[in-house]
Amino acid sequence: MKQVFYYDQTSKQLTRIGIVSDTADLPANATFVQPQAGLLDPLTWTGTDWVGVSQAVWENNQPAPVSVTPTADQQFQAQLALQVATLQQNQTTFNAQVMLELADLKKNLPTSEPKPATTTTTPTATN
């Protein structure tokens, strides 16, 4: 089996690649010559070899880049997410400050020693 490279009758540009048996005759508008690597698509058959297009033509033929600009809804959602994240961060900072101040207050409180327990005896009347 071997590859056969079909080209357009008018433009001579490569249209598709087929496979035929090793003993098959050359079909019309085709060649058994494989394009060398490193050519820029589309390829054109010169009658003896394949040639690619220039870099400028190739770049002009490329599909338009996909737009990465977010929609208005996506921008709004991103802003909301940012606000929520900021609020959470502020809340965490506030909680930490409160905990620190509580710790300081507890440290500064005067320590009062527990008083010993006093026992009272009630006199009993004797007859």
Partner 1 sequence: MASKLITIDPLSSTWATDMNKNLDSLNSDTGWLTATTYAPITGRLYYKVTASGIYLKGFVVPNNFSNAQPVKAATIAVDSIADFGGDDKVFILGQAGGNYAIGTLTSKGDFWLVSVSGAVTNAVHFDGIVIN
Q: How far is the CB of 80 from partner 1 (least distance, A)?
A: 27
Give the binding site for partner 1 (CB under 8 A).
1-3, 5, 14, 16-20, 34-35, 37-41, 43, 52, 58, 62-66, 68
Q: CA of 70: how far to CAs of 66, 82, 83, 105, 112, in Å?
A: 12, 15, 18, 50, 64
Give the residue with the Cβ less far from partner 1, 9 or 62. Answer: 62
Q: CA of 79: how far to CAs of 9, 17, 21, 69, 93, in Å?
A: 57, 51, 63, 15, 21
Give the residue with the Cβ less far from partner 1, 29 or 40. Answer: 40
Q: How far is the CB of 50 from partner 1 (least distance, A)?
A: 9
Q: How far is the CB of 88 from partner 1 (least distance, A)?
A: 30
Give the residue with the Cβ less far from partner 1, 68 or 105. Answer: 68
DSSP codes joined into one string, 53-73: --HHHHHHHSPPPPP-PPPHH
Give the residue with the Cβ less far from partner 1, 63 or 114. Answer: 63
Structure tokens at 26: 């050359």
Q: How far is the CB of 47 from partner 1 (least distance, A)?
A: 18
